Amino acid sequence: MHRLAKTSQLIANSERLLAGIFCALVFLLISANVLVRLIKVPIYWIDEAAIYAMIWMGFLAASSAIQADAHISVSLVTNKLAPQLQQLCKLASLLIMVIFGLCLLWLSWTWFEPLLLLQHGGDIDRFTSTELNFIYTEPTATLGIKKFWLWLIMPWFSFSLTFHSLARFLSQLFDPANTAGVEH
């Protein structure tokens, strides 16, 4: 149990660090955009790069916030309940998060269809024409890479959300005294 919570914390710390780096990247890209426009050397891919950096930042931060119990939720009702009922509500909400995370994982799986891609020997053209799934062929507008590289944050987010929620659910179930939000 302890190991699961520790792993969750380790993952969340890394996610927070990465989210901070992506935030810095957004800041640098947008500032650079003003500068390069001023000196009349516009770089056309900056805006798109900044948008994807922001999205990666957002999803990494959001999943790490589950581990830290930093998401906003309504506590008007639960705060008025007896401690046992409060504990029950907490467990129920975390269990729902685990189920939601598993749904997202399944949706990522059916979107990327990694097994089918492997069955086609990793041949993207054959996979696309046979399965009529265009995920691996869609391009980005200006970055010059395929969009699925950027979409990979979704499976990670789904996994991380499930993992952090499960770690907190089990901690809450077996060790409720030590499951207050972890500082971040």
Partner 1 sequence: MPIVISLISLLMIGVPIAFLLAMIAILLIVYQGDQVLFLSFQQQFFAGLENYGLLALPLFILVGELMSASGMASRLVRMAAALIGPVRGGLAYVNLISNGFMASILGSAVAQISLMTQVMTPEMQRNGYRKDFAVSLSAAGGLLAPILPPSMMFVVYGVLAQISIGDLFITGLVPGAMMLLGFFTYIAWRARHDNFPLPLDNISAPNKQPSELPELQQGQEQTTKAGSKLGMLRQGLPALLIPLVIVFSILGGLATPTEAAALAAIVTIIVGKFIYRDFDWQHIPQAFKRAAISSGLILTLIGSAQVMGFVLSYQQIPLAVAQWISQVADSPLEFLLLLNVLLLFIGMFIDAIAALIIVVPILLPIAMNHFGINPYHFGLVVCLNLALGLLTPPVGAGLFVASSTSGESVEKISRGVLPFVLITVLILLLLSVFPGLSSMLL
In the complex, the residues that contact partner 1 under the rule CB under 8 A are: 16-17, 19-24, 26-27, 30-31, 33-34, 38, 47, 50-51, 54-55, 57-62, 64-66, 70-78, 89-90, 92-93, 96-97, 100, 103-104, 107-108, 110-111, 150-151, 153-154, 158, 184
Distance separating alpha carbons of residues 26 and 57, to the nearest angstrom: 9
- Smallest gap from Cβ 5 to partner 1, in A, equals 19
5 vs 57, beta carbon nearer partner 1:
57
What's the min distance (Å) between Cβ of 9 and partner 1?
15
Taking the least distance from each CB to partner 1, the nearer of 120 and 184 is: 184
| Nearest CB to partner 1, comparing residues 109 and 121 | 109
Q: Which long-range contacts (CB under 8 A, 24 or more apart) does 110-114 make?
A: 111/135, 111/151, 111/154, 112/148, 112/151, 112/155
Q: Render 17-78 in DSSP notation, one character per residue.
A: HHHHHHHHHHHHHHHHHHHHHHTT---TTHHHHHHHHHHHHHHHHHHHHHHTT-S----TTG
Looking at the Cβ atoms of 1 and 152, the one nearer to partner 1 is 152
